[in-house]
Structure formats: C-alpha cells, structure tokens
Amino acid sequence: MSRLGPDFLPRAIATIALYPEPRSAMLPILHLVQEQNGFLTEEGMAHVAELLGLSQAEVYGTATFYDMFFTHPVGNYLVSVCTNIACLLNGGYELLEHAEQSLGVKAGGTTPDGQFTVEEVECIGLCGNAPCLTVNWRFFGDVTNEGFDSLVGDLTAGRLAETVPPHGTLCRVRRTVGLEAAAAVESTSVPELESGERS
Amino acid sequence: MADAPETSTDTVSITVDGKVIAAQPGEMIIAAAERNGVYIPRFCYHPRMRPVGMCRMCLVQVKGPRGFALSPACYVAVAEGQEVVTDSPEVKKAQDGVLEFLLVNHPLDCPVCDKGGECPLQDQTLTFGPGETRFVEEKRHWAKPINLSDLVLLDRERCIQCDRCTRFADEVAGDPLIEFVGRGASIEVNTFPDLPFSSYFSGNTVQICPVGALTATPYRFKARPWDLEQVESTCTSCAVGCRVAVQSSGAKLTRYLGVDADPVNHGWLCDRGRFDFEAVNSDERVTAPLVRKGDELIEASWGEALAAAAKGLADVTKLHGKGSVAVIGGARLPNEDAFAWAKLAKVVLGTDHVDCQLGDGLPAAAVLGLPRATIDDACRAPVVILLGPDLKEELPVLYLRLRAAAVDGKTKIVELTPHSTGLTRYAAASLGYRPGEVALLARALVEGGGGEDADVAGVSAAAIAAARELISAGNAVVVLGRPSLAEYGSSVAEAAGVLARLPGARFLPALRRANVHGALDMGLAPGVLPGRVALADGRDWFGREWGALPAEPGLDTLGILTTAADGRLQALILLGADPANDFPDRQLARRAIAGAGFVVAVDTFLTDSSRHADVVLPAATYAERAGTTTNLEGRVSRLGQKVTPPGVAWPDWMIASELAVRLGGDLGFDSLESIWAEIERLAPSHAGLTTATLSARASRDGVVTPLPAAPTEATADTDDEAAGADATGEAPVNRPALLSFAAPERAGDVPALDSYSLRLVTGHKLYDSATSVRRSPSLAGLVAKGKLRVNPYDLDRLGLTTGGRIRLQAPRATMVLEVVADAGVPRGSASLPFNLPSEPAADLIDGSLAVNDVRIETT
Ligand code: SF4
Ligand code: SF4
Ligand code: FES
Ligand code: FES
C-alpha cells in the first residue's frame, strides 16, 4: 500500500487540522507515509501533495532535504553507525567496518534479503556510550563487535520486537491531545483516533 | 510576482558610497542603487521576483546601531538616513569570498557552455572576483545533462543554487514543478521523479538562469553569443504582443529572448512564442509563387503568378460583379500590410466581403467599439470579469499578468466560463454556465432578479448573488473573447452589450490571432474602414481620396463560406488563412474552398486550404520584414527584421500593391513609411501617431491607440492635407467618429438539451495543429491527444468510467476517444480541444447552429 491507508489517513487529516497552513503539516505526514511504507514511496509523496494542496515537486524537495526520510527502499532494520568525533575516538569506524563485513554490505547498502541497511551517520547524541548506533532510530550504546553480532542475531530472531519497531515508526505512543479537538473543528468525518499503544 | 514598487511622491533618502540618493519607500537597496548608477553584483536577485537573499553576491555594508555590517543589498529595504557602502575593502573581500565559494563546485567548462560570453558568473568573476582559488580538490560530478522537460535541460554541475528558476516556476508561472532536491553539496534542482517540468513558461527559466545550468533544446550548442545579431521586435504568436529580442546567427533565426516591457510582458515569454521561430526557418516554407496547371501547383515567376491571380479575379468580377470576390484572413499581417490589403479589397476589388477573423472571434464592433482597457488597467481594476477563452492556453502572458494580480490581491477575478480554465483556481468566483446561455447569465449578473433560488444558465442563484457582490464595486474590466467555439459568437457579443452597462466597465479583447486587432483597426472586417470607423460613417472621408467604396456592409467569414459553398461567391482570397483547419465548421470551409471557382492564397506554407488554391503567393513572415503590429490593448509596436525571406517571398503589402496595378488600380505605396503616413492621415484611431512618434525611445514598449490628445471625435477638419478638400474648393469633410458598439438584440433561447446528449464546449490548446507549432520540431512533440472531459455526474449517469474509450457521435462526425471525469465541466456539457491533430472538436461543429450537441456511448 503506497498511499496513506485507513490506519493512517485519518491521522494525517487530523494533523493537518492542527496547523493554520496545511503545508506546515508536511513533515509529520511524511513520517506517517514512511511509517506505513518503510520509506517514502512516490505514490505516498503524491498523496501528501494532494492532501496539502501542493505540487509533488514541493513535497519531494522537502522530503529530500531531511536525512531521516528515505525516497528509496531500505531494509527492515536501518542500522545507523555514528562516526562523529566521540565515536571516532572510541572505534566508531572500526564498528562500521565490522558491521559492513558481518552484514556483507557497504554503508548505504541493503542486504540482499532486504533485512538490513547500514549507513554512516553524524553524532546521534549518545557520545557518552561511544561507539554507538541506532536501529530504526532506537539507541544501542557501547557496541562491541560481539555485541553487534548478537544484536543482529536478536533482531533477526525477532527478540527485540518490543524495543525496535518497524522502520519509519517515530514513536509508538500516539498524540491524542489536541488532535481530536482540532479534527472536530475542521471535519466531522474523521473517524475515531487511536489512542495509547499501537502494536 | 514582485512588481516594481508603485511610484510614490514620498521618497526616502539614503547615502550610497557617500552620495545621497532618493529611493522609493519599500524598495531594496540593490534597486535604489542601480537606478542611481551604482551596480551591485547579484545572482539570485531578479527585479520581477521576490527577493530571497540566497547567493550573497550582493553583500554591502549597511550602517546599523553597532556600526557597519555586511548585509545582502537585495534583501534589505531602504530606510530614511540609511548609509550604504558598496566599494570598501570589506565589501571587496566579501565579494571575493562569495565568488571563490561559488566557483568551488563550478566546473568552469566555459568553452563548451552555451552561456559562455553572456554569463553573469563569468562577468562578475572578472569584475568582482578573486582571480585565484584555493580549492585543489576534485569537484562534484553529475550525469549531464538531465531533461527537466522536453524543452529544458539541466547541467547540475553548473548550478549555483540561486533559486531563480524554482522561484519563477512557483511565483510567476504558478507551476511549482521544479524544486531544490537534496541538501548541502548534493543539492540539485530537479522535478518529482517522472513528472517533467511541463510548464508553458519553462523557457523563461533558461533565460534567467545566471549560469549555463539550464539550456533549451532548440538553442543548445547552436551558436556562441558573440556570433548572434539581434533586433528588438514584438512577438506575434498571439495577440498579447510580448516584446522580444530576435537573434540570428548567419541567415537563420536562432533564439528569442524576452524583453522587459513594463506594460506588457515583464520580460516573460510563453514557450510557444519563444520557440516557434523554428517554423520561420522551416524547409517547407513556400519560397516561390505557384500557379495551378490542372491538378498540380507549378512554380512560376512573380510576373506570371500575379498575372494569373489578377486575371482570375478580374474575370470573376466582370462576370459576376464586385461582390463576387471575398477576402478571408489578414491577422498574420502587420498593420501596414493589413491596410494595403484593406485598400486593395475595398477600393480596387470593390468588395466588402472581407474578414480577418475565422468565425472564432467577435463582431468587429464589439472589439473596436467598446471602451478599451489596457493590461495594466485590468491588473489594477477592482474586479476583472473573464468572459473569454482559457487565457493560459490562448494568451499565455496575459494569463501570467492576471494571475499575478489576483495572487497579489490587486484585483479579483469573476469568471464566466463553460469549463474550468487556468485561472479558475485564482478566481474569486467562477460561474460555469451552460453553453450558449452566457447572455442570460450576464443579464442576471447585471440586473439581478431572476428569483431567489432560480438557476440561470445552470448557475445557482447563490453563486450569482456572490458574484454580483464582487462586481458591485464598479469599474470592472471585462476580458472579452470566445469562451467556446461551439456556441455562437453572437451570444457573447450580446453578453458584452449587457456587461457594458455596468458603471465604469471597460473591455480588454481576448482574441488570440497574431495581429487580429491591428487587422480590425485597418479595416479587414465587413462594414468597417481603417481607423475603427463604420463603412457608412467613413464613406465620405475615405471616398475623397480612395474613390468609390462598397455600397453595403459585406459578409463575415461564416457568411462568405456559406455563400461560396453554395456557389454564389466565385473568388476567394486567403490571406494567410487556413479555414479548412481553423474555421469552427471545417466541413463548410472545405466545401467553400471547393465551391469558389477561383482561389488565391497568400501564405507561408501550403496548408489544407492553400494547397487547393489556383495561385499561391509566397509571403515573408515574422522577423523577415519590418512593420508594426497591434496587440489586444490597441498598443502599436514595431516589428524588427532580422533575416531575409526565403526564396522570392515578398512582404504582403508589396503583393497587394503589385496585384492592384495588375487589376488597374494603384494603391500609391512604395514603402512601409508611405503606408504608415496614409494610416496616420486617414485612420481616425491612429491620428497623430507618426512614424517619428513610434520610433521615439519613449515608445519602446509601443503606443496605445487612439492617442489621448488626438482629434478623434468628429471635429471640423482644418488640416489641408488630410482631406485634400481645400484644393478642390469643396466643403471640408469631417474626420469620422470612431465606431461604437450597439448592443445586439436579445437572441432567442437556445434549444433545450435532451437527456441523452451533452452540449459541446471547445477552445484552443497552446500546442495544437497551428502551422507555427506543427512546423517547429521542438514544439510539435508537445501536442497532446484529444480527450473528452465530462462532469463525473454525467459520466456516472451514462454508465461510463473515467479513462475509458467512448464513441462520440455528432451530426457531422463520429470519433472514438478517451473520456475523463472533470468536475470543472458543468453538468450536461462535454469539453474537447478545438484543434488537436487527433480528434479535434473542429470536425464536429456545425457553424449554423447556436450550440452543438453530441452523444457518447461505450465502444
Ligand atoms: S539552475 Fe540556474 S536558475 Fe536554477 S538555481 Fe541553478 S543557477 Fe539558479
Ligand atoms: S504570450 Fe503571446 S505574444 Fe507573448 S510570447 Fe506567448 S505567443 Fe508571444
Ligand atoms: S559522536 Fe557518536 S553519538 Fe555523538
Ligand atoms: S543577489 Fe542578494 S543574495 Fe543573491
């Protein structure tokens, strides 16, 4: 499914209603597309353009500006290894090299089974636990080579499903405050919003 | 679009490099300095767009509370007492730095760059740059070039990210199809994947790109700028009359650039106007006279061809009388040529069956006889009433101007249209009326009434009330043309007559053909004489110099073609006209050409009409000859000659003169100047507009006729030479009054629509089978396929699906084509482009009907 589906469209509409200008809602809605599809599909971006009354190029321009948006498919697990100064001094490059070797892909690449994408990133704010990385934007600090391998094992076996959501999920706790009120003002057709945890 | 700030009597004084200058409140330092002779270098700043402060090339020192600080001159507005320094060592250092930085990633492939030689980056590096770089690393590399569209290519390495092209696309054209993609060192201008920059205005981005990043396919690698010669001219691809620089290399036209004429085009051109010079260069031009021998057209000398044409016309006249000859066309001709042909037709041939419009226009009196507005007037009017075609398709730069005025809140648009147009999304109100019923709608708008909730012409009472509210401010400008070619033009004329009663209403005619307004001014219409005068009113005035004029007003093109098809009109002169393609009843046109015994075509190409002629006379066209042209405002501006006509083609006025001699007349013209002198002397609307006035520097942007001070009213004429009256001792003849428009009678109701039928709506597309598009290779590929647009409600009702193929039946033809749902088409209507090569609505129309109905069914 590439356009926003029934789980996501009402949330998009409610989010747009929060802002005086629809286009202000572009980033949150793009995250919804990425959460639904794992990356920003062309149809998904086109849908966002339609919802906001913008051209597709405008949405594309914004989406490509930000490193957390992907306009091409990525693996189920996006492994982002930090090589910025603190991590560099603590073996960030060695960790990246190890990740590349053990997964068999270069930074930027995705394993043939579509499970893992490795990328090199700037400081992710976990310098105190360098070297570090994120998987689908969830932190893992003080990562040794062995630690990395067992992390990969755990992810593959599904043992970390609680901690690491599918790629694209910013946050599993849904905002509810404000959305309903805004939606009630703007539209009566917005279905009930999810609240609380979403699996 | 940022207009130049309104001129104001209050000025702000600022100091630039120690000199006190007067600036306009609100303007940016860069503009104030430039007007006062201080040029601040720039890349991203463009006077016709909003500032962005993107490139930092314009850094100057501006004094603030903490002393002088570097600020972008394009982004800081002037303020009273402001002190600005543009030439200090600090500024120089900043300029050095910015240029060194911009050149870090620039490939410096100037020898193979189209911009080399006219490149702001080259020039400003020379003038303001460091001359050295510290960058020794490898530069970026991109695949080059990429296609942003069929017409525009991008070499991303050369881009300096000035945001001009992207701002233009969004702000000016309203087609935000290109954007900055990516970030930092990997930023590039690009489109959404597989969604090309297909804007009608894309060529402007090439012109304003300050480097060679954007190139246009028709020009890429064709010439070096220093090999080009140029002359300023006016685009005649439509009636907006944008000012252009026509450039040639050797004997071929190479490129057009927009020239910034403040009252007209603000420097912009549409892509059709910019690139259709390829048609002028075409190998398929008619280069020699052709005379029919049996089934074939054989090349002949001018002498033979003119003799053949004259003999044919004289024979017909002798046998059937003067009213047996008709002239169709003339909108392609410059003013002087139109005047010469009007004189030839109405005096030498003695016929008033003359019409420069092809059934796709309005009665001459509706164009000439209503109070006229300029484009600027429209952009400043409290409200603009659009009663005409889709301006984006037919008069593109007028669309840009009105769009900008609406977006900037300078005017409000109320649109009366039978299908949504390019301006619909910017309109304050868009009233979708049922074809043929626009006069009813106009009445409801002007007179109100009609009951609380009675629909009029398919428009709800509430929508009409809202629109009435909008126009209640008065002083509306009505943009008047043909909303659809499948309904009678007379219904639009009737609506115009009604709207003319609005207090302070003025009209901007929206007829699109090249110089159609000039041709009407010059008398190429039935019942009128040159200078916007009715035949009856001008008979004495013109008669003194010209001799006898036709006794009665003649037929318009519909009348001419109908009569010729019946065999009651024996000779046709086609003056650059192709009725077999362009007349909204093609079948009738074809029968007429076949029915007329003798046909003379003056043309640049063999068309579906001219190839059936008995004599074809090759004409010189745009950029091959000088003259003047008149745009839809009545603005007369000069055409420039840049190349020589192919073969032995002549300007049209020469053809008229030579033909006149062979018909036993003498037009008395030996040059364009001699024609203009007669126009100025005789044509009341052009009185006072001398060649000297027209060539004056102040007239660069053209001159709107009639001149305000000109004695255009019926005043006693004291000018001896004007009427030659005194010499003969006769009573002086008054210069006739200008034509005025008498609102036509209320026409009968259009027939009711049966529930199986849809009422046809049609108009031109910018790229269609017009000769200039078909003969321009770069444009020919852009022509779309015809699709029928129908309201989703009707589609449902008829059990059809959008995107499906349908069979469309009309009395004239049956065609199979795709149907798409379009809520912009009112219920009960079906919209199909007029003149596309495939499935043209032109094949369906019966010109004798007030409206044309069609039926559709699944195939
Ligand atoms: S392509 Fe040209 S106009 Fe567009 S941003 Fe780059 S340099 Fe500027
Ligand atoms: S709008 Fe008309 S006059 Fe202007 S460039 Fe286009 S075709 Fe030429
Ligand atoms: S440097 Fe790696 S997290 Fe800050
Ligand atoms: S011209 Fe001022 S920042 Fe570009």
Residue B544 in any domain: the answer is yes
Q: Amino acid identity of A43? A: E
B618 CB within 6 A, ligand 2: no
Query: Quick one: tokens of B25?
Result: 């409140």
My answer on whether B729 and B852 are in the same domain is no
B57 CB within 6 A, ligand 1: no
pLDDT at B175: 97
B702 CB within 6 A, ligand 2: no
Which residue out of B163, B168, B175, B192 would a mutagenesis test of the A interface target, given it has the greatest number of A Cβ atoms within 10 Å?
B192
The residue ranges of every structural domain in chain A are 9-71+170-194, 77-157
My answer on whether B761 and B781 are in the same domain is yes
DSSP characters for B78-126? --TT-EEESSSHHHHHHHHHHHHHHHHS----GGG-TTTTS-HHHHHHH
Question: Which strands sit side by side in the sheet containing B252-258, from one edge to the other?
Answer: B229-234, B243-249, B252-258
B241 CB within 6 A, ligand 2: yes
Do the Cβ atoms of A54 and B176 come within 8 Å? Answer: yes
Confidence of residue B292 (pLDDT cuts 50, 70, 90): very high
| Residue having the nearest C-alpha atom to atom 8 of ligand 1 | B162
Do the Cβ atoms of B181 and A64 come within 8 Å? Answer: yes
Query: Quick one: tokens of B284?
Result: 């398929």
Residues of B in contact with A64 (CB under 8 A): 181-183
Q: What is the pLDDT of residues B742-799, one digit of tens each?
A: 888 888 888 988 888 999 999 999 999 999 999 999 999 999 999 999 999 999 999 9
pLDDT at A190: 40
pLDDT at B709: 64
My answer on whether B788 and B717 are in the same domain is no
Domain A9-71+170-194, architecture per CATH = Orthogonal Bundle (1.10)
Task: State the total domains in chain B.
Answer: 5
Is the ipTM value over 0.90, yes or no?
no
pLDDT at A128: 96
As a whole number, mean pLDDT of residues A173-196 equals 53
Range of the structural domain that residue B382 is part of: 365-509
- Cβ proximity of B796 and B518 under 8 Å: no
Residue for token pair 């490939």 = B107
Q: What is the pLDDT of residues B741-751, one digit of tens each?
A: 988 888 888 89
As a whole number, mean pLDDT of residues A55-80 equals 96
Helix (H, G, I), strand (E, B) or coil at B152: strand
**Segments of B106-207 assigned E as strands:** 146-147, 152-154, 178-181, 188-191
Residues of B in contact with A58 (CB under 8 A): 170, 176, 179
Query: Which of A89, A96, A127, A143 for a ligand 3 pocket mutation test, highest count of atoms within 8 Å of Cβ?
Result: A127
Confidence of residue A36 (pLDDT cuts 50, 70, 90): very high
Ligand 4 centroid – CA B52 distance (Å): 7
Q: Chain B residues contacting A, CB < 8 Å?
A: 170, 175-183, 190-195
User: Angle formed by the axes of helices B586-595 and B557-565, to 10°?
Assistant: 60
My answer on whether B504 and B618 are in the same domain is no
Checking if the pLDDT of B679 tops 90, the result is yes
pLDDT at B725: 42
pLDDT at B747: 81
My answer on whether B695 and B584 are in the same domain is yes
Q: What is the pLDDT of residues B165-216, one digit of tens each?
A: 999 999 999 999 999 999 988 899 999 999 999 999 999 999 999 999 999 9
CATH number for the domain including B79? 3.10.20.740
Residue B548 in any domain: the answer is yes
Residue B234 in any domain: the answer is yes
Residue B42 in any domain: the answer is yes
Smallest-distance ligand from the CA of B512 = 2
Q: How many residues does chain A have?
A: 199
pLDDT at B452: 63
Query: Which of B172, B199, B200, B240 for a ligand 2 pocket mutation test, highest count of atoms within 8 Å of Cβ?
Result: B240
My answer on whether B315 and B274 are in the same domain is no
Do the Cβ atoms of A60 and B176 come within 8 Å? Answer: no
Nearest CA of chain A to the CA of B177: how many Å? 5
- Cβ proximity of B683 and B531 under 8 Å: yes
Q: Chain A residues contacting B, CB < 8 Å?
A: 42, 45-46, 54-61, 64-66
As a whole number, mean pLDDT of residues A93-97 equals 98
Residues of A in contact with B182 (CB under 8 A): 64-65
Nearest CA of chain B to the CA of A43: how many Å? 11
Print burial letters for B455-467: b (CB count within 10 Å at least 16), e (below 16): ebbbbebebbeeb
Residue B108 in any domain: the answer is no
Ligand 3 centroid – CA B692 distance (Å): 76
Which chain A residue's Cα is nearest to B181? A61
CATH number for the domain including B568? 3.40.50.740
Q: Phi then psi for A58, rounded to 5 degrees? A: -65, -40
CA atoms within 13 A on the CB side of A142: 2
Residues of B in contact with A65 (CB under 8 A): 180, 182-183
Contacts of B70 (CB under 8 A, 6+ apart): B59, B60, B61, B90, B91, B94
The DSSP secondary-structure symbol of B656 reads H
Nearest CA of chain A to the CA of B806: how many Å? 28
Checking if the pLDDT of B692 tops 80, the result is yes
Q: How far is CA A125 from the centre of its chain?
A: 17
Rounded Cα distance, B551 and B527, in Å = 10
Query: Quick one: tokens of A37?
Result: 């599809």
Which chain A residue's Cα is nearest to B184? A65
Which residue in A42, A57, A65 is closest to B177 by CB distance? A57
My answer on whether B214 and B237 are in the same domain is yes
My answer on whether B728 and B774 are in the same domain is no
Q: What is the pLDDT of residues A125-134, one digit of tens each?
A: 999 999 999 9
Q: Amino acid identity of B464? A: I
My answer on whether B374 and B348 are in the same domain is no
Confidence of residue B730 (pLDDT cuts 50, 70, 90): low
Confidence of residue A172 (pLDDT cuts 50, 70, 90): confident
My answer on whether B273 and B313 are in the same domain is no
Ligand 3 centroid – CA B742 distance (Å): 82
Checking if the pLDDT of A197 tops 50, the result is no
Residues of A in contact with B188 (CB under 8 A): none
Which residue in B180, B182, B192 is closest to A56 by CB distance? B192
Nearest to B273 by CA among B648, B778, B818, B662: B778
Query: Quick one: tokens of B312?
Result: 């044919």
Ligand 3 centroid – CA A27 distance (Å): 25
pLDDT at A185: 53
Smallest-distance ligand from the CA of B76 = 4
Q: A77-157: what CATH class?
A: alpha beta
Residue for token pair 């694209």 = A168
Which residue in A45, A46, A57 is closest to B176 by CB distance? A57
As a whole number, mean pLDDT of residues B387-409 equals 98
Nearest CA of chain B to the CA of A52: how many Å? 14
B269 CA closest ligand 2 atom index: 5
Do the Cβ atoms of A57 and B183 come within 8 Å? Answer: no
pLDDT at B714: 45
pLDDT at B723: 43
Checking if the pLDDT of A49 tops 90, the result is yes
DSSP characters for B230-253? EEEEE--SSTT--EEEEEEETTEE
Residue B119 in any domain: the answer is no
My answer on whether B71 and B183 are in the same domain is no
Residue B529 in any domain: the answer is no
Checking if the pLDDT of B601 tops 90, the result is yes
Q: What is the pLDDT of residues B79-112, one digit of tens each?
A: 999 999 999 999 999 999 999 999 998 999 999 9
pTM here?
0.93
Ligand 4 centroid – CA B94 distance (Å): 12
The DSSP secondary-structure symbol of B222 reads T
Q: What is the pLDDT of residues B322-354, one digit of tens each?
A: 999 999 999 999 999 999 999 999 999 999 999
Residue B65 in any domain: the answer is yes
Checking if the pLDDT of B78 tops 60, the result is yes
Q: Amino acid identity of B401? A: R
pLDDT at B250: 86
Percent of chain B at pLDDT above 90?
89
My answer on whether B347 and B379 are in the same domain is no
Nearest to B509 by CA among B480, B478, B477: B480
Which chain B residue's Cα is nearest to A57? B192
